[in-house]
Amino acid sequence: TPIQFHAVENMTGCDMKALNLSQDAMEALCVKQLKKGQAIWFACDAGAFGARKEGIWDPASVQYEALLGGFSTDMPKGKRLEYNSSSATHAMLLTGVHFDKDGQPDRWKIENSWGKDVGDQGYFVCSEAYFKEFVYEAVIDRRHFSPEQLALLEKEPVVINAWDEDY
C-alpha cells in the first residue's frame, strides 16, 4: 500500500495532518510510542466484536458463522469502510501492549471513557486480530516517525474536505 499524506479540514476549520500508513507501520509506531511510556489516542469501531461488560474486543468473541449456519459476514477492512459496514466510531487510549513468545503484539490494553462499571475498572483488552481489523487511526508523536515519514509531512498534502465522498 503506498503511503500518502493528507490534510483534512475538520469542522472547526483547523487543518489536521495525517499520514496514510500501512497497518503494520501504524502498529509499529504504536508499539514504539508505548515503549517510551506514552499513551496513544486512537479510533476504532467500538461496535464490532465487543463485550462491553467484560471489556474485551476480539473477533473470536462472537462466532457469527456458527450462529448463522456457516454464513460468513467476513469482509476485508477496505471493503467494510467502502460499504459503510464499519468505521471509526469511538476514541480511546492505548495504554499497553503484550507480546507473544516471538516478540509480536498479541493484545492491547485500552483505557476507555465509559466509566469504571464496564470492563476491568474502565480498562479493556483487544486482541491483535481486532486491532488489525477495527483500529483505523492513531495519533503518534512525530518524534517516533522515521526520517521517510517525516519527509512525507513536508510534501504538499492532498486536501480532503470533511464532506468529500470521493475519499
Mean pLDDT of 65-89: 80
Residue that the C-alpha cell 474486543 belongs to: 57
Q: Specify the pTM.
A: 0.82
pLDDT digits (tens, 9 = 90+) for 86-142: 888 899 999 999 999 999 999 999 999 888 988 899 999 999 999 999 999 999 998
- Which fold would CATH assign to domain 4-161? Cathepsin B; Chain A (3.90.70)
Confidence at residue 6, expressed as pLDDT on a 0 to 100 scale: 42
CA dihedral 28, 31, 35, 39 (to 10 degrees): 130
Mean pLDDT of 8-33: 77
Q: Which of 14-28, 38-52, 104-118 has the highest mean pLDDT?
A: 104-118
Domain range summary for the chain, segments of one domain joined by +: 4-161
Residue that the C-alpha cell 476549520 belongs to: 13
Mean pLDDT of the chain: 83
Q: Which residues contact 8 (CB under 8 A, 6 or more apart)?
A: 15, 16, 18, 159, 160, 162
Contact call for residues 94 and 107 (beta carbons, < 8 A):
no
Determine what percent of the chain is predicted with pLDDT higher than 90.
43
Confidence at residue 77, expressed as pLDDT on a 0 to 100 scale: 85
55 or 14: which carries more pLDDT confidence?
A: 55
- Taking only Cα atoms into account, the Rg of the chain, rounded to an integer number of angstroms, comes to 17
pLDDT exceeds 50 at position 63: yes
**Rounded CA gap, 6 and 44, in Å?**
19
Q: Which amino acid is at 65?
A: E
